[in-house]
């Protein structure tokens, strides 16, 4: 129904946004899958789950599914059962998966691990119904062209600052390279000032919402609670509404 990739620089609030949107969609009765695609794994704890096995660590399964005869690689390995077996459902019924780290093998690496993780993403994007949220790093390369075409919307999370605009330029280039058409922005950790407003005006993408800087998020993190249990959900409800307008 709606497939969203959340991207942005380190620490801007990608995981917080992903977890809260997952929660709000689940609350509306959608079946939600949330995948941590960041090497620095933190989505499970933001959704209140522990012990999610990173799929990149399933060395034997990867070997068995991906490596064919004479050392060839299968580009479309079977992964649907893995998807079921290695996902964990949280209290709200959100299905959580963790991709883990792709060993860097240079441009266009077709190492078995990479084919496997790409197959997982392809399965998520093309076979899962309802809502899919991908918590990604600033680099969205490992989506790959074919898979990226199934993403309805890329949300770039930015903190108001000059660097945000640079990030947006990079995200724009990456997404056009792999074929994601729709980009929208969430401004996070906003502290009101004329300079911040001026910068926000320079953003040329639709702005889904502006989330104020709030101690609530930091406290949630400190207390190891999902952010949606403690923060003001109103701006996120607005964001969800705008997402539905954009993708429908
Ligand atoms: N609006 C906000 N106000 C204050 N703190 C925030 C806000 N949003 C997120 N935070 C805090 O900022 C920190 C980073 O947030 P989060 O983990 O969501 O970012 P991230 O982009 O996923 O980071 P990483 O790149 O490390 O994965 C966390 O401590 C979080 O609680
Ligand atoms: Mg994160």
Structure tokens of 64?
């068995």
Q: Are the CB atoms for 211 and 233 separated by under 8 Å?
A: no
Q: How far, in Å, from the CA of 244 to the mean position of ligand 2? A: 23
pTM for the whole thing? 0.94
**86: pLDDT confidence band, cut at 50, 70 and 90?**
very high
pLDDT single digits (tens) 115-137: 888 899 899 998 877 999 999 87
Pocket of ligand 1 (CB under 6 A): 8, 10-16, 38, 40, 42, 188-189, 211, 213-214, 217-218, 221
pLDDT single digits (tens) 52-71: 999 999 999 999 999 888 87
Residue whose tokens read 């034997």: 60
Segment 237-244 mean pLDDT: 97
Tell which atom from ligand 1 comes closest to the C-alpha of 214. 3
User: Is pLDDT above 60 for 220?
Assistant: yes
> How far apart, in whole angstroms, are the C-alpha atoms of residue 165 and residue 108?
28
> What CATH number is attached to the domain comprising 9?
3.40.50.300
pLDDT single digits (tens) 156-200: 999 988 788 788 888 888 788 777 889 999 999 999 999 999 989
Please provide residue 231's backbone torsions phi and psi, each rounded to the nearest 5 degrees.
-95, 170
Number of structural domains found in the chain:
1
Ligand lying nearest the CA atom of residue 139: 1
User: What is residue 31's predicted lDDT score, i.e. its pLDDT?
Assistant: 96
The range of the structural domain enclosing residue 162 comes to 2-247
Give the Cα-Cα-Cα angle 1, 32, 153 (nearest 5 degrees): 45
Number of neighbours of residue 223 by Cβ within 10 angstroms = 9
User: What is residue 218's predicted lDDT score, i.e. its pLDDT?
Assistant: 95
Tell which atom from ligand 1 comes closest to the C-alpha of 42. 27
User: What is residue 68's predicted lDDT score, i.e. its pLDDT?
Assistant: 84
Q: Which residues, in sequence order, are bridge partners of residue 92?
A: none
Ligand lying nearest the CA atom of residue 7: 1
**242: pLDDT confidence band, cut at 50, 70 and 90?**
very high
């Amino acid at each position: 129904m709606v497939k969203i990739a959340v991207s942005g620089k380190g620490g801007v609030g990608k995981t917080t946004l992903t977890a809260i949107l997952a929660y709000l969609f689940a609350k509306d009765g959608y079946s939600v899958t949330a995948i941590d695609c960041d090497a620095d794994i933190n989505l499970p704890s933001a959704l209140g789950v522990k012990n999610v096995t990173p799929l990149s660590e399933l060395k034997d399964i990867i070997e068995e599914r991906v490596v064919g005869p004479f050392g060839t690689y299968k580009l479309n390995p079977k992964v649907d059962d893995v998807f079921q077996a290695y996902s964990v459902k949280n209290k709200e019924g959100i299905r959580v998966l963790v991709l883990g780290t792709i060993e860097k093998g240079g441009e266009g690496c077709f190492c078995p691990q990479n084919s496997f993780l790409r197959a997982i993403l392809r399965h998520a994007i093309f076979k899962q119904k309802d809502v899919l949220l991908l918590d990604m790093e600033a680099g969205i390369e490992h989506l790959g062209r074919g898979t990226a075409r199934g993403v309805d919307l890329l949300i770039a999370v930015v903190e108001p600052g000059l660097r945000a605009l640079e990030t947006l330029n990079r995200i724009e280039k990456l997404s056009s390279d792999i074929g994601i058409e729709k980009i929208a922005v969430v401004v996070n950790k906003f502290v009101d000032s004329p300079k911040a407003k001026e910068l926000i005006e320079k953003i040329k993408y639709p702005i889904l919402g502006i989330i104020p800087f709030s101690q609530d998020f930091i406290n949630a993190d400190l207390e190891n609670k999902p952010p949606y249990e403690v923060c003001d959900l109103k701006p996120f409800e607005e964001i969800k509404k705008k997402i539905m307008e954009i993708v429908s």
